[in-house]
Amino acid sequence: MPKNIFNLLSKDLTYIAKYKSSNSTTFSYVKAVLSLSFVCISFYRISHFLHQIKVPLIPRLIWWFNFILFKVDLD
């Protein structure tokens, strides 16, 4: 059973907002959503979720997109 992707992304967002900014305002969450680290981990989480529910090709395409744009390979 795949984990709740929204819960994981929410935890990632909270972590990035907390440790990349000195205060926890709405603006720090906006900055966290736009940060490259959150975008990369979001692509990874979505790809992994789709892989777990046995979607055939889309997870690989998302992985390639993440790798080509950001040179990030998360396993």
Q: Give pLDDT tens digits for 16-71.
A: 888 877 666 777 788 888 888 889 999 999 999 999 999 989 999 998 988 888 88
Domain annotation covers residue 19: yes
pTM of the model: 0.79
Assess whether pLDDT exceeds 50 at residue 1. Answer: no
5 CB contacts (<8 Å, ≥6 apart)? 45, 46, 49
- Give the domain range for residue 18: 5-70
Kindly report the backbone phi and psi dihedral angles of residue 38, in degrees, each rounded to the nearest multiple of 5, phi listed first: -70, -40
Domain annotation covers residue 20: yes
Total domain count, the chain: 1
Domain annotation covers residue 40: yes
Domain annotation covers residue 75: no
